Amino acid sequence: MIFKNGYSDLEKILQHYGYTYDDVVVENVYATNMTEFIRVSGYRNSIYKKQFPTGTWLEVKGLAVEGQLIEIDMEAHKTK
């Protein structure tokens, strides 16, 4: 599923910089089909175990790459 693949890729990026999903404080989602995103969004329960980040979910007409279905923008902070 594209949705899970996207989060898997984001996890690799977070890990590269020494972060985990526990460090994510903002997650903005842009989807071309919000109904489908909401249908599969329960998957997020398996990656955000400590807390859900703040954020915005928006349905958009299109994204940067033709055929792209979702774009996820994250901000992470390390606790000291």
Please report, in tens digits, the pLDDT of each residue of the chain (80 residues total): 566 788 999 999 999 999 999 999 999 999 999 999 999 999 899 999 889 999 999 999 999 999 999 999 999 998 76
Q: Where are the domains of the chain?
A: 2-76
Q: Considering the domain 2-76 in this protein, what is its CATH number?
A: 3.30.1330.40
Phi, psi of 55 (to 5 degrees): 165, -175
* Separation CA 78–CA 8 (nearest Å): 20
Tokens representing residue 13 in the block: 């990026």
pLDDT at 78: 87
The torsion angle over the Cα atoms of residues 26, 76, 64 and 7, rounded to 10 degrees, is -90
First to last CA, the chain: 35
Tokens representing residue 8 in the block: 């898997």
Amino acid at 27: E
